[in-house]
Structure 1
Amino acid sequence: MCEMIETVVSNFGFLSLFITMILYCIKITLKTLSKNWTFGSLIISNIILFCFLSIRWYNSHHFPVSNFYESLLFICWVLTSIQFCVEISTKQNWLGIILTPVTFIIYCFNSFYIPLQFQTIQPLIPALKSNWLIMHVTVMLVSYASLICGSLLAIAFCCLFYLHLKCISYNKTQFLKKLDNYSYRIIGFGFPFLTLGILSGAIWANEAWGSYWSWDPKETWALITWILFAIYLHTRYIYGWSGLKSSLLGSLGFIIIWICYIGVNLLGKGLHSYGWLV
């Protein structure tokens, strides 16, 4: 019964994210829809993903971030939440054309590519039976989702900049400034979470493995990610970088995040390889 409910909610999640993506594409390209349609669809998707996570939590009796499958679900929910907050604060819905396709692709990858045995609920391994599970993993996933979102805006800036370099207009210039500004703000929001996540992970590692830092591949790439975005924020705040130079650095961050988050799990090496072994 529980598995059937999960399957139904999962299918509704897929359908709602797909419809949301299509509505945003129609709204931005054809401009024939009201904001209420796209925003309402986004809210429904966010609620369905929240319900999905809640059902996993109820069925597993532990916070649903214990494996790769659940963590990707959580990231999808955080991405829709960030989009919701940005649209509320800006009264604009242009972020949807950038973010909803990525959220949908992540959800599809999670549902169709990850083997079923890794999607089923499993008992927690001893290393994860700790109160630090919620603290560390949740904070890290919020940071990943925020940095992914900010990096996507940086990539969008680079693409639009090069596409319209010779025929740029005032309106396009203003939109590029918005992309650059919100990329900076969202990355600035995610960076403290990444810092807190690394620090909490070090404390948890000392409790679980007897060492604050082991140069595990996941730890190493988390540090590389932190250094890259520290450079991004430092160059903007101290040297006044903005626009193309800053966006190129943010775009590089998109690749580094995914190496840190997915690469280690796919390789199945290191102390953090319990998420998903290939």
Structure 2
Amino acid sequence: MNTASLVNFQQLLDNTSFGILLVATLLYWVSVAFRRLPLVHELGSAAATIAALTTAGLLGARWLETGHFPISNFYESLFFLCWCVLAVHLAAEQFSRQRLVGAFTMPVALGLAAFASLVLPESMQEGGGLVPALKSNWLMMHVSVIVLSYAALMVGSLVAIAYLVVTRGQEALELRGSSVGTGSFQRAESSGMATLAIAQPLNFLEQAPLPIADAPALRRSSLAETLDNVSYRLIGLGFPLLTVGIIAGAVWANEAWGSYWSWDPKETWSLITWFIYAAYLHARLTQSWQGKRPAILAAVGFVAVWVTYLGVNFLAQGLHSYGWLS
């Protein structure tokens, strides 16, 4: 396949990925709004999987065209992050079995694809050779790990935001931590004659029948527990990846620029993001924080990731100028 054919194939996959992500987002929203339509959720998951495959095909075609791993400019970085978000989303959905996850993660993937396809000028979408500073084996190591960490932290934070939505107005909900910060929900609800204590929702269902009036409360409690655990695990995955990516970037910076750290805007914000998620994990592991407090901290981290990845590209031009927007 020649270069022109590869470019046309990329444009086709670009448009296809955007269209499928739009459909997937709508399907997930419909599945949440109409819970009695399980087939809609399955269609949403299928659409997300197809979008991941088409995005991977786009990146593969760009790799063949340019001869290097497709993360050398902002367009490639956006689609690589989109693919990572989709991959982490599918893994989280498989683990949690909750349709609510996609309702929060699909709009982010759609936004990344839309920004790359519709906002970036054509000059920034074109593939090409590497600039001298990027001709290093550290390119794949540093950028790919950093972007993957962003995806894990984003999805983990979005699941935490979903937790906040599920538990809004539920002041009686209390989380009592375990040694790893993923303990069970314990909630007491008084209903005149008796008090219902829910410590282990699934086990409780096996032990005694639940009054119909309390079934929605049990479902919400079980859903909240699942979201809290998934969020914690994803952030626990993304944080070490972010750490490794920052260290790899420092080593590469020393080779390229003669300094491990230059307080470049992206470097500074990556450090701020690192401290936010370090505080999140510290609070969960040592202070037994669970529920709303760490979820709020994760939501702050979500904003910090976006500022690190995208915001500094509008605010200032630094050493990471290959992705700067004028």
Residue 233 of structure 1: aligned partner: 281
The answer to whether structure 1 residue 196 and structure 2 residue 196 are counterparts is: no
Q: Kindly indicate whether the alpha-carbon contact (under 8 Å) linking 2:153 and 2:235 is maintained by their aligned counterparts in 1.
A: yes
Distance in 2 (alpha carbons) for counterparts of 1:73 and 1:118: 13
1:116 corresponds to which of 110, 122, 125: 122
Residue 137 of structure 2: aligned partner: 131
The answer to whether structure 1 residue 60 and structure 2 residue 66 are counterparts is: yes
Distance in 2 (alpha carbons) for counterparts of 1:62 and 1:140: 18
Change (3 A) 1:255 1:176: same
2:13 corresponds to which of 9, 30, 50: 9
Q: How many matched pairs?
A: 278
Residue 80 of structure 1: aligned partner: 86
Residue 181 of structure 1: aligned partner: 229
Q: Kindly indicate whether the alpha-carbon contact (under 8 Å) linking 2:156 and 2:234 is maintained by their aligned counterparts in 1.
A: yes
Distance in 2 (alpha carbons) for counterparts of 1:86 and 1:199: 27
- Pick which of 77-86 and 199-208 moved more: 77-86
The answer to whether structure 1 residue 32 and structure 2 residue 37 are counterparts is: yes
Change (3 A) 1:162 1:32: closer
Q: What amino acid is the match of 2:219?
A: N
Q: What amino acid is the match of 1:107?
A: A
Q: Kindly indicate whether the alpha-carbon contact (under 8 Å) linking 2:18 and 2:114 is maintained by their aligned counterparts in 1.
A: yes
Q: Kindly indicate whether the alpha-carbon contact (under 8 Å) linking 2:96 and 2:230 is maintained by their aligned counterparts in 1.
A: no
Residue 245 of structure 1: aligned partner: 293
Distance in 2 (alpha carbons) for counterparts of 1:128 and 1:222: 19
Distance in 1 (alpha carbons) for counterparts of 2:80 and 2:169: 34
Q: What amino acid is the match of 2:242?
A: L
Q: Kindly indicate whether the alpha-carbon contact (under 8 Å) linking 1:135 and 1:200 is maintained by their aligned counterparts in 2.
A: yes
The answer to whether structure 1 residue 21 and structure 2 residue 25 are counterparts is: yes
2:313 corresponds to which of 265, 268, 272: 265
- More helix per residue: 1 or 2? 1
Q: What amino acid is the match of 2:323?
A: G
3-state SS, counterpart of residue 85 of structure 1:
helix
Q: Kindly indicate whether the alpha-carbon contact (under 8 Å) linking 2:70 and 2:76 is maintained by their aligned counterparts in 1.
A: yes
Larger radius of gyration: 2
Change (3 A) 1:164 1:115: farther
Distance in 2 (alpha carbons) for counterparts of 1:93 and 1:159: 14
TM-aligned CA deviation for residue 96 of structure 1: 1.1
1:102 corresponds to which of 83, 86, 108: 108
2:158 corresponds to which of 144, 148, 152: 152
The answer to whether structure 1 residue 206 and structure 2 residue 254 are counterparts is: yes
Distance in 2 (alpha carbons) for counterparts of 1:29 and 1:82: 23
Q: Kindly indicate whether the alpha-carbon contact (under 8 Å) linking 1:26 and 1:33 is maintained by their aligned counterparts in 2.
A: no
1:192-226 deviation per Cα after TM superposition (whole angstroms, max 9, x unaligned):
10000001001100100011111111111111111
TM-score (norm 2): 0.81
Q: Unaligned regions of 5+ residues in structure 1, if any?
A: none
Q: Provide the alpha-carbon RMSD of the alignment.
A: 1.8
Q: Kindly indicate whether the alpha-carbon contact (under 8 Å) linking 2:101 and 2:162 is maintained by their aligned counterparts in 1.
A: no
Q: What amino acid is the match of 1:158?
A: L
3-state SS, counterpart of residue 105 of structure 1:
helix
Q: What amino acid is the match of 1:146?
A: A
Distance in 1 (alpha carbons) for counterparts of 2:313 and 2:128: 17
Q: Kindly indicate whether the alpha-carbon contact (under 8 Å) linking 1:75 and 1:142 is maintained by their aligned counterparts in 2.
A: yes
Distance in 1 (alpha carbons) for counterparts of 2:220 and 2:97: 18
3-state SS, counterpart of residue 274 of structure 1:
helix
TM-score (norm 1): 0.94
Q: Unaligned regions of 5+ residues in structure 2, if any?
A: 173-188, 190-215
TM-aligned CA deviation for residue 276 of structure 1: 2.6
3-state SS, counterpart of residue 322 of structure 2:
coil
TM-aligned CA deviation for residue 245 of structure 1: 0.8
Q: Kindly indicate whether the alpha-carbon contact (under 8 Å) linking 1:76 and 1:103 is maintained by their aligned counterparts in 2.
A: yes
3-state SS, counterpart of residue 324 of structure 2:
coil
Distance in 2 (alpha carbons) for counterparts of 1:165 and 1:9: 47
Change (3 A) 1:268 1:66: farther
3-state SS, counterpart of residue 189 of structure 1:
helix
TM-aligned CA deviation for residue 101 of structure 1: 1.6
1:17-59 deviation per Cα after TM superposition (whole angstroms, max 9, x unaligned):
1111122222222232425423222211110010011011111
**Percent sequence identity over matched residues?**
42
Distance in 2 (alpha carbons) for counterparts of 1:257 and 1:105: 15
